[in-house]
Amino acid sequence: MTRSQELMRQAEVLVTAVRDRPNTSDSVKKTYGGLCHEFPVMVRTCGLCQAVAFSLDKAEGNEAHSLLLDHVSSVLGIPRNQLAQRIEAMSTTEYMLATRKIVSAWLFFKRFAVSILKVKDASSAKDGG
């Protein structure tokens, strides 16, 4: 299986789990879907470290950002409680590889946000669809 196939399968499983998650409101699911569209832009604009730091700041009391961080951790294979420290400690080569992996994976997260969560883009998540 290629890396892209593995990332696609992982994204499908994780986004489907968000859709099927009990006791999670539709607004959280829509916000998460919007974040699937916004996160790769944040990574490209600010870098992986700052994008993760932003979500860590927002995650307290925000289930959608918390889910996003869980999924970033899963894709990178880093425990969530070590995510920021491990990204900060990466060499330049490791950081570039992690960034490339996240951007590649989030292509699939965006697609599944549309097909599974029915969130067409980040703005539709904010204005209700």
% of the chain exceeding 70 in pLDDT: 95
Q: With cut-offs at 50, 70 and 90, classify the pLDDT of residue 125.
A: low
Q: What is the pLDDT of residue 127?
A: 45
Residue type for position 19: R
Q: What is the mean pLDDT of residues 32-51?
A: 96
Cβ(101)–Cβ(73) under 8 Å? no
Mean pLDDT, the chain, integer: 93
Torsion angle of C-alpha atoms 16, 18, 20, 24, degrees rounded to 10: -170
The SS3 of residue 117 is: coil
